[in-house]
Amino acid sequence: MMEISTDPALPFALGIVLAWLAGVRVYLTLFGVGVAAHFGWMELPQSLALAQSPWVLGVCAAMALIEFATDKIPGVDSIWDLVHTLVRIPAGAFLGGIALNTGGGEASMTGMVLGAAVATLSHGLKSGTRVLINTSPEPASNWTASLAEDGLVVAAFWLAVVHPGLALLLLVVATLAFIAMIVFLYRLMRRVARRLRSAEA
């Protein structure tokens, strides 16, 4: 079992990782937390026993499947992202606060602030990348990006359970990749727009 409050470095890494993942796949992340706690892979405060409830797990699993399908539809995925700004960021704050709790069952305020900031970052990068990808006329790029995000969340969550430090490193690399992708797509769009204007002139 992984103790959340034993080594100060572990809860910090875990909180950052969970908040980052919530900004990309919030329901899958919450489902993973509940399953990990249920099987004893992750220790949660007593106040979060509800996360292990079959009803909560069932709802999160159902919503994760809906999100999996919705995220593959160009245009619809961006609407889903916009609506879920109101879900992902609070969930990131919640998970960050729980991971950095002081052991008294209370969520850490510092963890909540960090969690909200990290979830905002990952949500913004994910949403921004998808908006730019959706300007492409073919759907393959959208599917590729969505499946890559699914794989990243699963891999990072598994690493978070067994080695939070490596999971955090993976997500730092992923963040840089998201930023590089946004810059690349933005520059590509500008070049295409210039060529179209030149052709019309």
| Residue 4 pLDDT > 50 | no
User: How does pLDDT run across 64-103, given as a tens digit for each residue?
Assistant: 999 999 999 988 999 999 999 999 999 999 888 888 775 5
For residue 24, tell me if it sits in a domain: yes
For residue 4, tell me if it sits in a domain: no
For residue 2, tell me if it sits in a domain: no
For residue 192, tell me if it sits in a domain: yes
Share the mean pLDDT of the chain.
86
For residue 196, tell me if it sits in a domain: yes
For residue 183, tell me if it sits in a domain: yes
More confident residue, 79 or 197: 79
Domain residues for the domain of 174 are 9-200
Question: Could you identify the residue written with the tokens 């994910």?
Answer: 126
Cα-Cα-Cα-Cα dihedral sign, residues 70, 72, 78, 84: positive
For the chain, the domain total comes to 1
For residue 1, tell me if it sits in a domain: no
Report residue 19's pLDDT band, with 50, 70 and 90 as the boundaries.
very high
For residue 3, tell me if it sits in a domain: no
Return the pLDDT at 201.
Answer: 58
Alpha-carbon span 101 to 30, nearest angstrom: 17
- Give alpha helix (H) positions in the chain: 9-22, 26-38, 54-70, 76-83, 85-99, 109-133, 140-162, 164-200
Q: Confirm if 111 and 15 have CB atoms less than 8 A apart.
A: yes
